[in-house]
Amino acid sequence: MTITAAADGSALGNPGPNGWAWYIDDDSWAAGGSPHGTNNQGELRAVLELLQATAASGEPLRILCDSKYVIDSITKWMPGWKRRGWRKADGAPVLNRDLMESLDEAMQGRDVRFEWVKGHAGHDLNEAADVRANAAAKAYQAKQEPKRGPGFTVAGSDASTAEPASTGETSATEIPVLEPVAAAPLWAEASSLLDVFDAPAPVDLRIQLTAAEHARLRDRADAQGISLEDAVRRLI
Instruction: Kindly give, in sequence order, each residue whose CB lies less than 8 Å from that of residue 162, ignoring residues fewer than 6 positions away.
Output: 56, 210
Which position among 26, 109, 120, 204 bears the catalytic label? 120
Closest CA to 152 of 70, 72, 49, 230: 49
Question: Is 8 marked active-site?
Answer: yes
Tell me which of 19, 32, 42, 43 is the catalytic residue: 43
Which residue, 214, 55, 92, 17, is CA-closest to 232?
214
Contact 16, 36 (CB under 8 A): yes
120 in active site: yes
- Residue 174 sits at φ, ψ, to 5 deg, of -80, 80
Query: Given 32, 37, 130, 222, which residue is catalytic?
Result: 130
Among 49, 66, 189, 222, the active-site one is 66
> Which residue type is seen at 218?
R
Q: Active site includes 158?
A: no
Q: Is 9 a catalytic residue?
A: yes
Q: Is 168 a catalytic residue?
A: no
Give me the count of residues in the chain. 236
Q: Which residues are catalytic?
A: 8-9, 43, 66, 120, 130
